[in-house]
Amino acid sequence: MVNSVIILSDEKLTALKAYYASDVVKRDAPGVVFAAKTANASITAYRSGKVLFQGGGAELEAAKWESGMGAGSSASSKKPLTKGTVLPDRLATLSVIGSDETGTGDFFGPVTVCACYVRAEQIPLVTELGVKDSKLLTDPYMRSIAPDLKSVLTYSVLTLQNEKYNTVQAKGWSQGKIKALLHNQAIRHVLRKLEEERPDYILIDQFAERGVYYNHLKNEQEIVRENVVFSTKAEGLHVAVAAASIIARVAFLDEMDRLSELAGRTLPKGASKKVDETAAAILLAKGEPFLRSITKWHFANAKKAAVIAAKKRG
């Protein structure tokens, strides 16, 4: 088994906990303050600041934090992780299908994935519409430009409701597998819409190494492999990924609005203490089956909400 150990500051450790919030596992061992298990690595953080990465993807996961991916790092310090992938020259000027997802770290709301095709000649238009890294844009702004993007681009957006998410997660599917299946499906949909036209490349915002990604898809009948490349921070490499990220985010926001209406209160994003308190209120008002139906039930927030609700009942 591959092992990699790094030391993180308190700030970086807090960022690491937030990043792997959806992959939390219980690990009772001396000095352990946090543990998580992804599709390709186990992560164990200790009180000393040491973080142990184990498994086939240990080096890749550790490299994210060693290279400054954590809180407080600047965008320029984050180097794309493209192990097993050679990015083509002038990628930003080519005709590309970009694929990205959102919602995986949110207790409430769905996972949404979008694949979006931007032809080379459309790049100036898409840029003019205001497309850039969605992390630099506000939710209202993304909602304002998404209709224009949808009207001029070929895209496919998939929304995985939490009831379905919980069903497959209970069967042992990791978030990595779930995302891989959704990305592959969304890309297939776009390729079908293009009929005979084919992109120069397909760029997926990297959440797993190429081999791990395709291992998740090994039982699928139709797997897109031709001209597929992977990179982290792909939104900055081609506007197709940035546009896909925006459309996926707006689909997520729309579903959050619908669920908020059902819940009778505004559902907060993320997996914070505010999320725990809101979940506890819903648990008391509408019961566990309803709360389960609108959340990713394996998140630690579910247990935290139950504790808060129990105290309020008492």
Look over the chain and give the mean of its residue pLDDT values, rounded to a whole number: 88
Whether the per-residue pLDDT at 112 is higher than 60: the answer is yes
Residue 260: predicted pLDDT: 97
Q: What is the pTM of this model?
A: 0.73
Interval 136-171: pLDDT, tens: 789 999 999 999 999 999 999 999 999 999 999 999
From the CB of residue 262, how many other CB atoms can be counted at a distance below 10 Å? 13
Mean per-residue pLDDT for 55-60? 75
Between 214 and 87, the higher pLDDT residue: 214
Residue 65: predicted pLDDT: 77
Mean per-residue pLDDT for 11-20? 83
- Tell me which DSSP letter residue 89 carries: T
- Tell me which DSSP letter residue 271 carries: S
DSSP string, 102-167: E-TT-SBS-EEEEEEEE-GGGHHHHHHTT---GGGS-HHHHHHHHHHHHHHSEEEEEEE-HHHHHH
Those residues whose C-beta lies under 8 Å from the C-beta of residue 252, and which sit 6 or more positions away, are: 102, 103, 106, 109, 110, 112, 159
Interval 238-259: pLDDT, tens: 999 999 999 999 999 999 999 9
85 pLDDT tier (thresholds 50, 70, 90): low
Interval 261-314: pLDDT, tens: 999 999 999 999 999 999 999 999 999 999 999 999 999 999 999 999 998 887
Residue 77: predicted pLDDT: 32
